Amino acid sequence: MSETDVNLYSAMQSGKPYKTYKKVVLGRVYVSAIDPFTEQPTGILLYGDPRRGDESCFIDMWSERDDLFFRKQNKVHFDSGFIVEVIREVKEVVELPFEQFSDGQLKEVINMKYLALQAKLNKTSSEAVLYRMIDLAQEMEKSTKIIGAIEARLSEVNTIKVTENKDDGSKT
């Protein structure tokens, strides 16, 4: 593997393309690009609504060579204004999975309004987290309504797991 291949795959893993292009018309646009894995020319159909920022409206170029090929092969689209170069906004807001919350974060969840707490509880299917939440709620001397909601979710999670295992033909 050459150094340029290593740099290319590194850029792909970090999510930082060399350049990004976007179709700006509502219709579909067929473009030619080099597949970064096979290094062969391939056709790609860009579709979706560019006003909403659909991911299907974008195409990333991962190296200078790929970019040069793309610009050369799709010159008609650039000249007619169907495709423009854009700078992607970096979205690095990664929400931590519920299972990785610290005790402090779980206390914040427990202190949420009841409906918000219910919504958060419905997102977890981990018994361990729910047991931790019950212990924390009891330590914080929360109402029976809140503790009951957590216990109800725990019983739902337990029945879900038993039902899944019955479908497999085994018991837990």
Instruction: Report how far apart, in Å, the C-alpha atoms of 129 and of each of 2, 70, 72, 132 are.
Output: 46, 49, 54, 5
pLDDT tens sequence across 100-131:
888 888 999 999 999 999 988 988 888 889 99
pLDDT of 172 over the 50 cut = no
Cα gap 83→148, rounded to integer Å? 56
pLDDT for position 125:
84
Categorise residue 138: left if φ over 0, alpha if ψ from -120 to 50, beta otherwise: alpha
pLDDT of 171 over the 70 cut = no
Backbone angles phi, psi at 82, to 5 degrees: -75, -30
pLDDT tens sequence across 129-168:
999 999 999 999 999 999 999 999 999 888 766 555 555 5
Cα gap 14→36, rounded to integer Å? 15
pTM of the model: 0.51
